[in-house]
């Protein structure tokens, strides 16, 4: 009887392992497609215009626009405002307060100076409302030299 019970358990392990492998493969190919995507022409000013009301959009149109932003690859230039102890870089794009933040590996983060102009490429993770404006959180960022 023990032999008969082991076969279904073995098959469950094999099928479960196969499903996990397929999910991991799908995730990896999805990430590679994101990273290889072309840079979008989307600017921070276009995103900010939705929050400051300068675009004449309905709420439904605003939501449709905002829902399409995560995952877009952008190349922007700004000035380093701060780098936190956790290696999060805060960048000002429009001369006011910081507009964008993103984590970097420590070795890269410590090389950045406050007031330094940088160009960076990354994927938009989320857009957060901030008073009459917004702040963009990026991931998978590289600094262009």
Q: Are the C-beta atoms of residues 135 and 53 closer than 8 Å to each other?
A: no
Strand partners, 89: 83, 102
pLDDT at position 17? 74
Interval 69-121: pLDDT, tens: 999 999 999 999 999 999 999 999 988 889 999 999 999 999 999 999 999 99
Sign of CA dihedral 76, 113, 135, 28: positive
- Rounded CA separation 71/68 (Å): 8
Q: How far apart are CA 62 and CA 133, in angstroms?
A: 14
Q: Would you say residue 27 has pLDDT above 60? A: no
Structure confidence at residue 60 as a pLDDT band (50, 70, 90): very high
User: Token pair for residue 11?
Assistant: 């098959």
User: What is the pTM (predicted TM-score) of this model?
Assistant: 0.75
Q: CA distances (Å), 28 to each of 31, 59, 68, in order?
A: 5, 35, 21
């Amino acid at each position: 009887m023990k032999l008969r019970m082991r076969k279904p358990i073995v098959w469950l392990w094999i099928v479960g392992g196969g499903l996990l492998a397929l999910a991991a493969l799908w995730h990896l190919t999805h990430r590679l497609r994101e990273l290889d995507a072309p840079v979008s022409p989307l600017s921070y000013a276009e995103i900010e215009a939705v929050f400051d009301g300068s675009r004449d959009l309905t709420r439904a149109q605003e939501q449709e626009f905002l829902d399409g932003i995560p995952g877009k690859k952008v190349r922007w230039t700004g000035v380093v405002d701060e780098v936190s102890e956790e290696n999060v870089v805060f960048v000002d794009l429009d001369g006011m307060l910081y507009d964008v933040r993103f984590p970097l590996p420590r070795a890269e983060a410590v090389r950045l100076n406050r007031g330094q102009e940088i160009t960076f490429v990354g994927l938009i993770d989320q857009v957060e409302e901030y008073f009459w404006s917004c702040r963009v959180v990026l991931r998978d960022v590289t600094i262009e030299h």
